[in-house]
Amino acid sequence: MGHLEAAAGLAGVVKSILVLEHGVIPPNALLTRRNPDIDADFYNVNLPTQCIPWPDSGLRRVSVNSFGFGGTNSHAVLDDARHYLESHGLFGFHNVSSNDSTTTSNEGISIINGDLQHRKTCSPKLLVWTATDAAALERVVDAYQSYYRKRIASDSDKLNRLAYTLAKRRTIMPCRTFAVVGPSSARNETEDNNDEDQLRTAKPVRAPTEPQSMAFIFTGQGAQYAEMGMELRKYPVFEQHLRKSDDIFARFGCKWSIFGRCIHLVCP
């Protein structure tokens, strides 16, 4: 990178995060010999000259030291996201690879929302695009076609990332469209015209400018069935809201539970 002056500390933080994510300690660039005045044995200092795998499967911790442009010394201690989330009982998106002895290889392993998932197993994802008008939206989707075909279609890990980025890291514009896609089988990437890897988006719609209210309407025509939608409980947010609704029904005096457990029973 060269000497980044005031941005050197930030570059060190970015490099340290990559070290924590990949579990690999990189070598020092252009190192020819160590300063003879540094007693490496006494201070237990090791200057790597080649890539070193992270030594154990536990918490990864890195310290970053930087002297500011005016001489101020700043020090940051970083823990890897995976172990931080696990130790606090949290779920979150992270990209920390595993070097646990129970995992034979890190290749093809991705950690999404705190769970190990193999790249070949991925549920369909919702990709959302927005723009200021229909013409701009068409250009945006067209720009994604080649990228999706070559880089995303056969890789569920990258598909997870793209869905997250489009949903959470993009400004929401009034003109919108979407596509529901899943990972396709591996193929020759020179086959750019593979119809199976084309993004098939819905007809663009323009969101209303005024705030809209929401209403839940039940037909009463018997279209529902027992345990309808229960397979969605594998998603934590659905399970959480379902249990919240169940508790609300119980407080209103409901004698049955949507989970099948008896809350209150009045015997004759």
Task: Kindly tell me if the per-residue pLDDT of 163 is higher than 80.
Answer: yes
Q: What distances in angstroms separate CA 95 from CA 21, 130, 244, 259, one per listed residue?
A: 6, 26, 31, 34
Helix (H, G, I), strand (E, B) or coil at 192: coil
Q: Is residue 70 part of a domain?
A: yes
**Residues linked to residue 64 through DSSP beta bridges, in sequence order:** 76
Arithmetic mean of pLDDT, 71-85? 89
- Highest mean pLDDT pick, 67-71, 107-111, 131-135: 131-135
Residue 110 lies in a domain: no
Side chain identity, residue 25: I
User: How many domains does the chain contain in total?
Assistant: 3
252 and 200 assigned to the same domain: no
- Identify the band that residue 45 occupies on the pLDDT scale cut at 50, 70 and 90: confident
Contact 239, 233 (CB under 8 A): yes
d(CA 186, CA 253): 54
Structural domain contains residue 75: yes
Q: Is there a single domain that holds both residue 70 and residue 143?
A: no
Task: Examine the domain organization and report whether 185 and 238 are in the same domain.
Answer: no
Residue 52 sits in a domain of what CATH number? 3.40.47.10
Residue 106 lies in a domain: no
Distance CA 154, CA 151 (A): 7
Kindly state whether residue 144 falls inside one of the protein's structural domains: yes
* Residue 258 falls inside a structural domain: yes
> At residue 118, does pLDDT exceed 60?
no
Q: Is the pLDDT of residue 63 over 50?
A: yes
Pick from 183, 179, 154: which is nearest to 166 by CA? 179
Place 184 in a pLDDT band, splitting at 50, 70 and 90: low
Tell me whether residue 104 is in a domain. no
Higher pLDDT, 221 or 192: 221
68-77, 112-121, 174-183, 256-265 — which is least confidently predicted?
112-121
pLDDT of residue 122: 58
The conformation of residue 253, written as its DSSP 8-state character, comes to: T
Name the residue range of residue 260's domain.
227-268
In a domain, 111, yes or no: no
Share of the chain above pLDDT 70, in %: 80
The maximal CA–CA distance of the chain, rounded, in angstroms, is 90
Q: Which residues of 220-243 are buried (b: 16+ CB within 10 A; e: fewer)?
A: eeeeeeeeeeeeeeeeeeeeeebe
The confidence score (pLDDT) of residue 196 equals 62
Whether residues 264 and 190 share a domain: the answer is: no
Q: Taking 70 as the threshold, does the pLDDT of residue 109 lie above it?
A: no
